[in-house]
Amino acid sequence: MLSSVLLLLLISGAQASYYGVVFSYSVGDLQSGRYQKTEDYRVSFSSCEEFDSFFCGGNCSGMPVYLIDESRGEWCQKVHIGSGSSSLNTFNSMVSAGNWTENINGIVSSTFGLHLDLRNRSDINKPGSSPQTTIIPLVRVPSNCQRNINLLVSDPDGDDIRCRYAADPECNICTPPSVLSLSSSCSLSFSPTNSSNEGPYAVQMVVEDFPRQTITLTNSSGGQEVKTTSDAISKIPIQFVFRVDPAAPSCTEGEYLPRFLPPTPEHGAQISTNDSETLEIIVRAEATQAETTEILISGPAGVTKSLSGSGNFTLTWTPIASDRGLNKTLCFVVQANSSGSVYQSDLRCILMTAVSHPSTTTPPLTTTNQPTTTTPLASSIQNSTPVPGPNYVLALNTKISTSLSLETDSATITNLIKEELIRRGMSPDITLKLLSGGAVQVTTAAP
């Protein structure tokens, strides 16, 4: 069954100013004959009180509900983290979450579909997880500025991810925003438009994952279905508000539109932390013709933010138990004000992972002494304790597989290999060099 909160949504008739939804689920290990499933169910309304009324009858104190962020009475995003076990079956549901906030494309009643496929996959020998992503409830751009919104979507199973606009019956009225174009790679593009198109639009999207090879899905009664690379497995909704604001005096980033500065992580950066520690991320931005006032975020539960001077922000994340081992998406924008007008930076998103040992970056990487395939979320290296003594490695023949590029990510690959070799007993003063053909040269000081 779906979570009790999901069932509550299906029967609730509460009216609220709805700002969107992002839903995802992940599947853990087999326990007592059933796989553990975690649902990340985030919904946005015009106030936190509306969320509480809609989800919990006004009191969410006894439920795993977390505040993600809110924007000065404009919107509030909260998330319900549901956990439990599930049988090997599929689940489909259509959900209504009240009325959309007023929008130009004329969408009144909110509707979105959920399709969970928890059948056993032949390629990974367990049920798969859905794509993982998030977005802030309100993205805004000046009407005269070209802007791209690049969603960051990851998939724990390494599937092919594709985005599209929702279609009947996945929405009540399915009119997409006339000012936005959406690519299958989950990038939204806005081109300058005239003032008659200014205002808010409801964005209703669906993200699907497709296997990269033909697989067989098996349900709890033994029934099977074959999925090819053209067949979607799961479907999750992404809905938010896109607002076209009046024209800005300049579209140059760093003047009115905030521009990110170092050490702000780049879009798509992957950062890991020990699952028992708090991760700190520094964000800096400038707008020379406006005042940078706040940072707005959407990410996993446990992210907090603070301001330390104009354009200087600190984000901290304390992972919760259900975060362990998963790539969690954190998205943020910086807002600036000038003469009563509000300007947003580009949407920037990163991946954060809580692992059992600290590391600066954790892209997919596996190392074995036999040919292997890439593991999407975690290393397949087995823990081992080096035998003490004056042992010296004269030669090592190892195959390494990773989704990183040797051309653009050579430094990251080198650091990851070095960390693993040191962990296995080699001297910390070793130096590594990537050679042509993908070979690695390792040297160390003479004993």
Q: Which domains does the chain have, with CATH numbers?
A: 4-247 (2.60.40.60), 260-287+296-334+348-362 (2.60.40), 365-443 (no CATH)
pLDDT tens by residue, 178-197: 999 999 999 999 999 999 99
Measure the CA–CA gap between 58 and 296, rounded to whole angstroms: 25
Mean model confidence pLDDT for the chain: 83
- Residue 201, strand partner residues: 242
Which pLDDT score is estimated for 26?
94
Which pLDDT score is estimated for 55?
83
- Identify whether the C-beta of residue 57 lies closer than 8 Å to the C-beta of residue 11: no
List the single range of 113-117, 270-274, 314-318 with lowest mean pLDDT. Answer: 270-274
- pTM, whole model, 2 decimals? 0.77
Which residues fall within 8 angstroms of residue 228, CB to CB, at 6 or more apart? 211, 214
pLDDT tens by residue, 344-370: 999 999 999 988 754 444 343 333 333
The confidence band for 440, taking pLDDT boundaries of 50, 70 and 90, is low
Measure the CA–CA gap between 429 and 360, rounded to whole angstroms: 19
438 pLDDT higher than 60: no
**What single letter denotes the amino acid at residue 273?**
T
Measure the CA–CA gap between 62 and 66, rounded to whole angstroms: 11
Apex CA 376: angle with CA 370 and CA 382, to 5°? Answer: 45
Residue with tokens 């909160």: 5
Q: DSSP 3-state helix, strand, coil percentages of the chain (rounded to 5)? A: 10, 45, 45
Which pLDDT score is estimated for 401?
55
Helices 48-56/4-11 angle, 10° precision: 100
